[in-house]
A and B are shown apart, each in its own frame.
Chain A
Amino acid sequence: MGKYSLAGAIGVAAILASGSAMAGKDLDAIKARGALICGIGSGTAGFMLQDSQGKWTGLDVDVCRAVAAAIFGDAEKVKYVPLTSQQRFTAVQSGEVDILSNNTTATLQRDTALGLDFTAVTYYDGQGFLVNKKLGVKSAKELNGATVCVAPGTTTELNLADYFRANKMTFKPVVIEKVEEVRAAFFSGRCDVYTNDSSSLYSTRAANVPPPATADDFIILPEIISKEPLAPAVRHGDNQFADIVRWSQYAMLEAEEYGIDSKNVDEMQKSDNPSIKRILGVTPGMGKALGVDEKWVYNIIKQVGNYGESFERNVGKNTPLKIERGLNALWSKGGLQYAEPIR
């Protein structure tokens, strides 16, 4: 029996290996392949998540769908590769994925030493505090003397110490390595406060509250104590592809700014506003400059929606995550989301 299974092994190996990608410029490779390979995390409510039918949804998923819509005119032409946080940078560097959209904070080290290029910020995150409503706290300034659950050795722990020192408060840290255990410690009442990136806190509140308590029993305090700009990353070497990723995000923001959404995009094509005409490719030029179809923004908005739509659909007030726009509102509405103009 051994001889046959060995031959079978080699045969299956040959079949599996034949699916591997070929080298070349990233964008050419993507076009030749006919699909964008998108590296995402494995399961964070609202940001990347497989629904009951195994389809990926979420804010980070929409980034990849928008890029696919820009390149192929079809937001479904994406292959998702779930990555763990250890794998994610290697996967981009080695070409296993074209783009990493995995709630990754853009930092100088990652941008340089890891050979990545972060494009536009898709979500302005920052470290926040999750507390039980019973604590009766409305602001992080009232947390003097609190017990705080935190993961060790991360910037999260340093930020926490800095913040309390700056505000002349004291705290008792409960330092636990694994995120599931930190959560469990917090929900079982071992600490008053759980601190992490606020997107993660919203996700935790929506998905991890053990019954009989519900998400409404917990609040996230308004203070944000660190900068965590989450941005998609591509590898060095193909600037045109990086441009497409960046401008796909800007297109979603510009569309929101000009009031173009997935429902009215067809009518908007008849608009007299020269900016809208330019954005939607009625006046050609933008698509050619970027190296994609002139209809690229139309395809993104029609199939994925503008940034506001994507935000509200995945993480907004009517979803279980209930995240306010806050820093992620448009610059014209008091937020930080500021797209470079499409012209």
Chain B
Amino acid sequence: MTDVLPTGERRQLAPPVNETGAMGWIRKNLFSSWGNGITTVVLIVAIAWALSSFLNWAVFTAVFTAPSGQACRGHGACWALIHEKYRYIFFGSFPYGQHWRPLLAVVTMLAMLISSADRRMWNSRLIWIWTIGSLITFLLMFGVLSFPISFFLLVAAIVGGIGLSMRGVIAEPVELNAWRALAAIGVVGLILRIVGVMPAWSLTLAPFDYVETGLWGGLPVTIILATYGLLFAFPYGVLLALGRRSKLPLIKGLCVGFIELIRGVPLISLLIMASVMLPLFLPQGTTIDKFLRALVAVTLFAGAYIAEIIRGGLQSLPKGQFEAADAMALSYPQKTILIVLPQALRVVIPPLINTFIGFFKDTSLVLIIGIFDFLNTANQALVDPLWAGFPAEVYLFAAFVYFCFCFSMSRYSKYLEVELNKGTRR
């Protein structure tokens, strides 16, 4: 007379119909109580109403081709304006017949960025991707590139110097001599060049017509400023971060002072300094390219922020790592490059991408110094009196393009966060 059920395998009963499937999900999530039910209905009606009037404007009554803005009046969205102006918005005043060049430059930069996003590429291949990619990008944008011999000498000196400091203890004599020779050629050559003994040779690549930076505009400008601003800022942000943790008071003081100074002022003030104040300090007639000034301002600014992010990464390293490196008799550069930075940077990659997203948008501030980045060309497209009075279309279009970039970067950052933490997660 017991209610004990027999042991053993039992057939699993399916849950009740209104607990599973779409119905179940809707009941559970949208209509779980009277209050929730009413909220759901009200929200659905509101969304449907907003969406239908938006679609009506943006699609059903929109004008996609028209000879001028007049023909758009009285209809919905005037996408004809975008159709007319999209090349200007994307490429600004770059010579019209050669718009394929900035287009290919943008494609190249995107290819570089996307291929660098793949973790399998995170090795010496990155250096080649960026060297060749940058060469192609700037060759397309400028049309003519000229490398003075001092550039090659400088590269030789830097590469040789890094090779010596990194491999100095462990390298075979042959390799060591090769590094020494490289550094010596670089340094001696540079000195000879400065003294004036070495002639001013230069290597010139000139496949296309020269296009100066003043004519650049639109999307390439935005991407170049954000990408190269951050790329150049990265090494010096690392140096600033290391300097801030240095035990030498002078270096530490300089780095702290610089970081706090830059972080204490808005980017706009740096840009204004670069464009309004700087020319007054230069000798009459000497000007520095406006685009370069903006790039330097962005780089300085980004460097200070990157330094702080990297400092966070450095501080997260346990002390044992430093001590272990010291115990192996590694020199300071070896310790830093082989032990400290790889671990510190791994931690800070997601926040770095966050910074990149921020800077991608912040570069639109260059419009205050008269550089036509993507947002500014979109603004300029509005001024044309033939196409007057459709700001919503242009800004929606610009917002859409910015969103595509920033959203994909933020998804990537999320993916990386998961990917990089695989090792530490259970």
Q: Is A10 a contact partner of B385 (Cβ separation < 8 A)?
A: no
Main secondary structure of the interface of B (DSSP, over half): helix
Q: Is A17 a contact partner of B289 (Cβ separation < 8 A)?
A: yes
Known: A9-B232, A83-B370, A91-B279. A24 touches B285 (CB 8 A): yes
Task: Find A90's partner among B91, B130, B276 (CB 8 Å cutoff).
Answer: B276
Cβ-based interface call for B234 (8 A): yes
| Chain A residue nearest in CB terms to B78 | A211
Cβ-based interface call for B158 (8 A): yes
Of residues 182 to 239 in A, which have CB atoms within 8 Å of B's CB atoms? 203, 206-212, 214-215
Q: Is A87 a contact partner of B92 (Cβ separation < 8 A)?
A: no
User: Which interface residue of B146, B212, B217, B235 has the most chain A CB atoms within 10 A?
Assistant: B235
Cβ-based interface call for B126 (8 A): yes
Cβ contacts under 8 Å, A11 to chain B: 147, 151, 154-155
Q: Is A12 a contact partner of B138 (Cβ separation < 8 A)?
A: yes
State A20–B236 Cα separation when bound (angstroms): 26
Cβ-based interface call for B376 (8 A): yes
Cβ contacts under 8 Å, B277 to chain A: 90
Known: A7-B154, A52-B87. A207 touches B382 (CB 8 A): yes
Known: A1-B127, A16-B292. A6 touches B232 (CB 8 A): yes
State A214–B389 Cα separation when bound (angstroms): 8
State A53–B89 Cα separation when bound (angstroms): 10
**Interface size, chain B (Cβ < 8 Å):** 80
Cβ contacts under 8 Å, A3 to chain B: 158-159, 162, 235
Known: A14-B148, A15-B142, A19-B212. A5 touches B384 (CB 8 A): no
Task: Find B93's partner among A14, A19, A50, A212 (CB 8 Å cutoff).
Answer: A50
A92-100, A267-275, A332-340: which lies at the interface: A92-100
Cβ-based interface call for A80 (8 A): yes
Q: Is A52 a contact partner of B88 (Cβ separation < 8 A)?
A: yes
State A44–B279 Cα separation when bound (angstroms): 26
Task: Find A1's partner among B130, B215, B292, B370 (CB 8 Å cutoff).
Answer: B130
Task: Find B88's partner among A9, A10, A44, A50 (CB 8 Å cutoff).
Answer: A50
Cβ contacts under 8 Å, B288 to chain A: 16-17, 20
14 extra interface residue pairs, beta carbon distance < 8 Å, beyond A87-B275, A95-B287, A207-B388: A3-B159, A4-B130, A4-B131, A6-B232, A10-B154, A11-B154, A15-B147, A49-B380, A50-B380, A54-B91, A54-B95, A84-B370, A86-B368, A94-B282
By a beta-carbon cutoff of 8 Å, the part of chain B in contact with chain A is: 73-74, 84-85, 87-88, 91-96, 126-127, 130-131, 134, 138, 142, 145-148, 150-151, 154-155, 158-159, 162, 212-215, 217, 228, 231-232, 234-236, 238, 272, 275-277, 279-280, 282-292, 296, 299, 367-372, 376, 379-386, 388-391
By a beta-carbon cutoff of 8 Å, the part of chain A in contact with chain B is: 1-24, 29, 42-46, 49-56, 79-84, 86-87, 90-91, 93-96, 203, 206-212, 214-215, 319-321
